[in-house]
Amino acid sequence: MKEPLFLNSVLQEKIWGGDHLKEFGYDLPSDKVGEYWAISAHPHGVSTIANGEFKGQKLDQLYASHRELFGDSKKEVFPLLTKILDANDWLSVQVHPDDEYGQKHEGELGKTECWYIISAEPGAEIIYGHNAKSREELAEMIKSGDWDHLLRKVKVKTGDFFHVPSGTMHAIGAGIVILETQQSSDTTYRVYDFDRKDDQGNLRELHIQQSIDVLNIPGDKVPENQVKTEKFADAEITTLVKSDFFDVYKWQVHGEHEFTKVADYTLVSVLDGEGKLTVDGNEYPLKKGAHFILPSNVENWTLSGHLEIIASNPA
Closest by Cα among 120, 146, 109 to 131: 146
Q: Determine whether the annotation assigns residue 170 to a binding site.
A: yes
Q: Which candidate in 67, 135, 152, 190 is catalytic?
A: 190
Query: Residue 223 contacts by C-beta under 8 Å, 6 or more apart in sequence?
Result: 163, 165, 241
For residue 239, the surrounding DSSP H or E stretch is: strand 235-242
Contact between 253 and 307 (Cβ < 8 Å): yes
Q: In what order do the strands lie in the sheet with 170-172?
A: 151-155, 125-130, 170-172, 93-95, 189-192
Tell me whether residue 25 is exposed, middle or buried, using C-beta atoms within 10 angstroms of its C-beta: 0 to 12, 13 to 18, 19 or more: exposed
Q: Determine whether the annotation assigns residue 96 to a binding site.
A: yes
Helical residues (DSSP H) of 75-176, grouped into ranges: 99-105, 135-144, 147-150
Is 152 assigned a catalytic role?
no
CA quadruple 41, 46, 49, 55: dihedral sign:
positive
Show binding-site residues: 96, 113, 170
Show binding-site residues for Zn(2+): 96, 113, 170
**Hey, which residues are catalytic here?**
190
